[in-house]
Amino acid sequence: MNRRVPSVLTIAGSDSGAGAGIQADLKTFAAMGVFGTTAITAITAQNTLGVQDVLALPPELVAAQIDAVVSDIGADVVKTGMLANAAIVDVVVAKVAEHKLDSLVVDPVMVSSSGDRLFEDDAVEAIRDRLLPLATIITPNLREAEVLLDRKLTSWEEIRAGVEELVAMGAGAAIIKGGHPVEGSEGAATDLLFDSEGLREYTTTRIESNNTHGTGCTFASAIAAALARGTNLRGSVAMAKAFVTKALQSAYPVGEGQGPVHHFFRFWQPGLYDRLHDDQVQEEAAREAAADR
């Protein structure tokens, strides 16, 4: 097979529960047909109930991972997630410029689904002032947008103004995700995009689920994967919205708290494992019979 497969580099934290972070990113990339690589920024001890511990990695190690990946495999798109502190943000900014990585999806991860804080105070200013202006698109949820804008967004009018302001601050495009309901959004999950073409709403029926861990990581990674495959920005957002919606609808119970979505909903088939197992047993039996002859 000589066909080149698009690649996406995720620069983010590791989730031991595998619902969010680089684990969710890699599952999304695989499900959407791109090759995923990683530069890990932090190691978290967490599960579906919450985050027990966080260790940010040395910035120079983050830089070394980026160099190692890009110098050999390359990166059609870069996606950032949990960056932990300003020193790591600055390393990412420097490496994006050094390697001319001009397709960048920024997911400004600040708090886990369980409410645990995942960044130091100095990271916010660094993301806002130095990383955001490099972003092809930034994908905050409502709470993250409020932190970046330093004000509450309590109505659709305020959210519309907020998403436009994120672009005015330097991002190529911005989308504020509708996972947190606001007045007037009952029964719907509406993501609001602002780009060079103006405002665009992406609305689906709200899915009430306990499996919401990693939805933000998955959404941003799906955008990155679609961009890497050559889809335009608005089409990539639409594909990501559809992917997350189906992954939520297909989720299965994991753990006692907020479980993950089902990234591989397209590939799991009832009875598939049993059929593969039966085929393998039959092949082994045939080989043994041939060897006995």
Q: What does the H/E/C string look like for 51-94?
A: EEEEEECCHHHHHHHHHHHHHHCCCCEEEECCCCCHHHHHHHHH
Q: Tell me if residue 246 is catalytic.
A: no
* 132 or 206: which leads in pLDDT: 132
Q: Tell me if residue 184 is catalytic.
A: no
B/e letters for 162-178, b = 16+ CB within 10 Å, e = fewer, are bbebbbebebbbbbbbb
Q: Tell me if residue 241 is catalytic.
A: no
Note the pLDDT of residue 293. Answer: 61
pLDDT confidence bin for 291, thresholds 50/70/90 = confident
pLDDT confidence bin for 292, thresholds 50/70/90 = low
- Catalytic pick among 36, 81, 172, 216: 216
- Catalytic pick among 37, 215, 218, 245: 215
Note the pLDDT of residue 268. Answer: 84
Note the pLDDT of residue 3. Answer: 79
Residue 1 pLDDT exceeds 90: no
- Catalytic pick among 212, 218, 241, 259: 212
CA–CA gap between residue 10 and residue 30 (Å, rounded): 13
Mean pLDDT computed over 277-293: 69
How do residues 119-146 score in pLDDT, each as one tens digit?
A: 788 899 999 999 999 999 999 999 999 9
Tokens of 101: 């990585």
pLDDT confidence bin for 109, thresholds 50/70/90 = very high
Residue 60 pLDDT exceeds 90: yes
Q: Tell me if residue 212 is catalytic.
A: yes
Average pLDDT, the chain: 92
- Catalytic pick among 217, 218, 241, 259: 217
Tokens of 83: 């960056």
- Catalytic pick among 214, 218, 245, 259: 214
Going along the chain from its start, the domains and CATH numbers come out as 7-292 (3.40.1190.20)
Note the pLDDT of residue 243. Answer: 97
Mean pLDDT computed over 17-27: 98
